Every structure is written in C-alpha cells, then in structure tokens.
Amino acid sequence: MEWLRNLLFGSSRSPQPASTSPPRLKGNGKYSVQVVGESFYEDSYKAAFGNAIAEDPEDTVEVDVELALEDENPHDRNAVSVTYQGYKLGHLSRKMATEFRQALNRDGLSSYRRFRVGAEVYLGGDEQQFSTSLDLPEK
C-alpha cells in the first residue's frame, strides 16, 4: 500500500523533483503524534510564538510545521526534526522517525527531504511547558 504517495499525489500523479517546495501530508485530524525534546527548544517556542503566548498562555494554536530528515544528526542518523518558521521545536521519536523513513522508502518518496504537516502547539501555560502534536497520516 502506497499510503504516503497516494496522500501526496493521488494514485496517478508522479512526485515532483526534490527542489520544489515541501509537499504537505494530510493527516486524519487526530494530532496523535507527539513531538519529543521540546524542553531543549524552549527559546525557539518563545521566539516563534511570543505574541500568542502573551495573549493567552493556555492557548493551543494550529499551524503547519516542517519535518526535515536529519541524516547527519550525530545522535540518530534516522532523526526527523520539526520546525516552525525556521525555529526547531523538537523531533519525531526514534521509533516514529524510523517508521516515517521506512514509509518514505517503501512508497518511493525518498527523494524528498522535507514535508509540511499540520500541528497543534500548546503554548505552555504559566509553567511554559510547551508541547506539539502532529497530524500525520496513519499507515
């Protein structure tokens, strides 16, 4: 089953060259994939969402984020980072990153290095414990 290819291009279209803008993956609306490592990127959350935090720190905002394959990551060669407007928010878990890359290879999408996906970002409340959940397609 070529679930990622079908979500991106339908059953009859071929993928675009890797130099085009990142394709957007359409999820199921559940935002069920939790980003990990957010505590390391607190400054990024504050820089990216500062105005929204000031307005309502208990708010959750929906945005598009970018997933990028990090082949050169010294901690995990399968790492997939999550960024918003150039600010790194965290990574997919090791297990999810491996599954994501396997799906890319299986579905013939390994020429892509970046993808866009919907996300819900919790702005942390008074404790500023930020979190991000992704709306990725299910297998």
- Tens-digit pLDDT profile for residues 73-124: 999 999 999 999 999 999 999 999 999 999 888 888 888 899 999 999 998 7
The residue ranges of every structural domain in the chain are 3-13+25-134
Whether the per-residue pLDDT at 10 is higher than 50: the answer is: no
On whether the CB atoms of residues 119 and 133 are closer than 8 A, the answer is: yes
Give the right CATH number for 3-13+25-134 from 3.40.710.10, 3.20.20.70, 3.90.1300.10, 3.30.70.2330. Answer: 3.30.70.2330
Mean pLDDT of 15-42: 83
d(CA 119, CA 34) in angstroms, rounded, equals 10
Residue 54, pLDDT score: 63
Question: pLDDT-derived band of residue 8, with 50, 70 and 90 as boundaries?
Answer: low
Mean pLDDT of 11-38: 76
Whether the per-residue pLDDT at 36 is higher than 50: the answer is: yes
- Biggest alpha carbon–alpha carbon distance for the chain: 49
Query: What confidence tens digit (pLDDT) does each residue in 54-81 have?
Result: 677 678 899 999 999 999 999 999 999 9
On whether the CB atoms of residues 123 and 60 are closer than 8 A, the answer is: yes
Structure tokens at 124: 């942390």
Q: What angle do CA 93, 29, 36 make, to 5 degrees?
A: 15
d(CA 26, CA 110) in angstroms, rounded, equals 18
Whether the per-residue pLDDT at 16 is higher than 50: the answer is: no
Whether the per-residue pLDDT at 19 is higher than 60: the answer is: no
d(CA 138, CA 113) in angstroms, rounded, equals 20
